[in-house]
C-alpha cells in the first residue's frame, strides 16, 4: 500500500470516529490516489488536484467542484502531517457544491405519488413503494433510515420506530401517530401474504424478498415523480426523496406558527425527532418555511 493510500485510510478512520460515513469521499479519494500513482506523483499539489478534479472534461461544474472539495478536505488534514502538501483553494472552481432548494410537497402531490406507486407493475413492488413514501412523508425519516429498518425495529405496541446507527452514528426512537401505526400494520400483513419467506429481516422488501436498495429506490422514485406529474420548479429545485423529509419539517413549523406556539422552542425537539447532530441543523428548515 502506498503512503498516500495509507494516509487516506487514516484520514477516513479519524473522520468516521466523529460520526461521518464518507462513502463518496472514500471512492473519490481512492480514484485521486490511483490518478497520482498512474502519473508517478508522490505528493499533492494544487495543480494536480485541479487536473484530476476537472476530469472528465464533460462533467458538470458541480461534480468537478465536489471532486475538488473531497481532495481539499483530505489535503488540509494531510498538511498537518506533511507540510509540503498543498491545499487547493475552495473557490478554485466555479461549481462549488451548493445546497439544493427544497421541493416542498403539497398534500395533493404526496397523494399523487402514492397513486403512482400503486400503479407499479408488481403487487409487492407497488405495496412497498406506496407505504415507503407514506412513511417518509409522515415521519421525515431519511430514506436510508427507512430502508434499513428491520421488522424488529417497528414496535407496534409502543408506537415507535427504532432507528439504529444513522447519520453521525446516532440512534433514536421515533414516535408514531396512531394512523401511521395502523398503516404499517396493513403493510406488514399484506407483505407477509405476498412474500411469506423473505430472504431479509428488512421491514420493506422488494419483489424478490430482499431489502430495498437505494440504487433501485432512487430511480424508481424519479419515475414516480414523472408519472405523478411533478416537474422541477427550477434547475436546483427538483422533487427528490430527501425533500419529503424537508416537507415534513416545514409542515411541523407551519403548524406551530398557526397554533401560536414558540417555534424556536420547538426546533430542539424537531432536531431530536429528525436525528440531527444538534438544534442548529434544524434552523435551516426555517429558510424553507413560507413567511
Question: Based on the domain organization, do 114 and 188 belong to the same domain?
Answer: yes
As a whole-number percent, the residues of the chain with pLDDT over 70 amount to 91
Strand partners, 33: none
Overall average pLDDT of the 207-226 stretch: 96
In eight-state DSSP terms, residue 93 is: S
Strand partners, 172: 163
Domain limit, last residue, from 64, 79, 94: 79
Looking at the structure of the chain, the number of domains it has is: 2
CATH (domain of 166):
1.10.443.10
How high is the pLDDT of residue 268?
A: 81
Question: Based on the domain organization, do 69 and 111 belong to the same domain?
Answer: no
Residue 167: active-site member? yes
Give the cell for residue 12: 477516513
Residue 5: active-site member? no
Overall average pLDDT of the 183-190 stretch: 98
Look at residue 19 and tell me whether its pLDDT is greater than 80: no
pLDDT digits (tens, 9 = 90+) for 246-258: 899 888 888 887 8
Q: Confirm whether 203 is domain-assigned.
A: yes
Q: Confirm whether 208 is domain-assigned.
A: yes
**CB environment 118-141: b (16+ within 10 A), e (fewer):** eebeeebbbbbbbbbbbbbbbbbb
Count the helices and strands in the chain (H runs, E runs): 12, 3
Instruction: Say how far apart CA 162 and CA 171 lie, in whole Å.
Output: 8
Q: Are strands 154-155 and 172-175 parallel, antiparallel or unpaired?
A: unpaired
Grouping H, G, I as helix, E, B as strand and the rest as coil, residue 261 is coil
Question: Based on the domain organization, do 10 and 129 belong to the same domain?
Answer: no
Q: Confirm whether 228 is domain-assigned.
A: yes
Per the structure, the complete domain to which residue 256 belongs is given by 107-288
Residue 257: active-site member? no
Question: Based on the domain organization, do 119 and 48 belong to the same domain?
Answer: no
Residue 142: active-site member? yes
Q: Confirm whether 88 is domain-assigned.
A: no
pLDDT band at 95 (very low <50, low <70, confident <90, very high): low
Residue 285: active-site member? yes
Question: Apex CA 167: angle with CA 161 and CA 170, to 5°?
Answer: 60
Question: Based on the domain organization, do 135 and 204 belong to the same domain?
Answer: yes
Helix, strand, coil percentages for the chain (3-state, nearest 5): 60, 5, 35
Residue 264: active-site member? no
> Considering the chain, what is the average pLDDT of its residues?
89
Q: Confirm whether 13 is domain-assigned.
A: yes
pTM equals 0.70
Q: Confirm whether 91 is domain-assigned.
A: no
Catalytic option among 103, 105, 129, 142: 142
pLDDT band at 91 (very low <50, low <70, confident <90, very high): confident
How high is the pLDDT of residue 51?
A: 93
Residues contacting 226, CB < 8 A, separation 6+: none
Q: Cell 508517478 sits at which residue?
A: 40
Question: Based on the domain organization, do 17 and 117 belong to the same domain?
Answer: no
How high is the pLDDT of residue 283?
A: 59
Give the cell for residue 225: 415523480
Q: Confirm whether 111 is domain-assigned.
A: yes
As a whole-number percent, the residues of the chain with pLDDT over 90 amount to 62
Domain limit, last residue, from 79, 95, 116: 79
- Identify the H or E element spanning 104: none
In eight-state DSSP terms, residue 99 is: P
Amino acid at each position: 500500500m502506498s503512503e498516500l493510500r495509507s494516509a487516506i485510510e487514516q484520514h477516513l478512520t479519524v473522520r468516521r470516529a466523529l460520526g461521518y460515513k464518507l462513502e463518496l469521499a472514500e471512492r473519490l479519494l481512492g480514484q485521486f490516489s490511483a490518478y497520482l500513482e498512474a502519473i508517478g506523483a508522490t505528493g499533492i499539489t494544487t495543480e494536480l488536484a485541479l487536473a484530476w478534479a476537472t476530469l472528465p472534461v464533460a462533467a458538470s461544474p458541480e461534480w468537478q467542484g465536489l471532486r475538488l472539495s473531497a481532495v481539499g478536505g483530505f489535503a488540509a488534514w494531510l498538511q498537518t502531517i506533511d507540510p509540503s502538501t498543498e491545499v487547493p483553494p475552495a473557490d478554485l472552481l466555479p461549481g462549488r457544491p451548493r445546497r439544493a432548494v427544497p421541493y416542498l410537497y403539497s398534500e395533493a402531490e404526496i397523494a399523487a405519488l402514492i397513486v403512482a406507486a400503486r400503479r407499479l407493475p408488481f403487487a409487492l413492488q407497488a405495496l412497498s413503494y406506496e407505504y415507503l413514501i407514506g412513511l417518509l412523508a409522515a415521519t421525515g425519516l431519511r430514506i436510508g433510515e427507512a430502508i434499513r429498518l428491520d421488522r424488529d425495529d417497528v414496535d407496534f405496541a409502543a408506537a415507535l420506530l427504532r432507528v439504529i446507527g444513522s447519520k453521525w452514528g446516532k440512534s433514536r426512537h421515533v414516535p408514531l401517530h396512531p394512523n401511521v401505526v395502523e398503516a404499517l400494520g396493513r403493510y406488514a400483513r399484506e407483505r407477509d401474504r405476498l412474500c411469506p419467506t423473505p430472504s431479509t429481516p428488512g421491514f420493506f422488501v422488494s419483489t424478490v424478498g430482499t431489502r430495498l436498495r437505494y440504487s433501485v429506490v432512487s430511480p424508481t422514485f424519479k419515475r414516480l415523480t414523472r408519472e405523478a406529474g411533478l416537474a422541477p420548479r427550477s434547475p436546483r429545485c427538483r422533487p427528490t426523496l430527501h425533500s419529503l423529509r424537508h416537507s415534513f419539517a416545514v409542515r411541523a413549523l407551519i403548524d406551530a406558527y398557526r397554533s401560536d406556539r414558540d417555534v424556536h422552542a420547538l426546533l430542539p425537539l424537531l432536531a431530536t425527532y429528525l436525528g440531527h447532530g444538534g438544534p442548529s441543523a434544524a434552523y435551516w428548515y426555517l429558510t424553507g418555511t413560507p413567511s
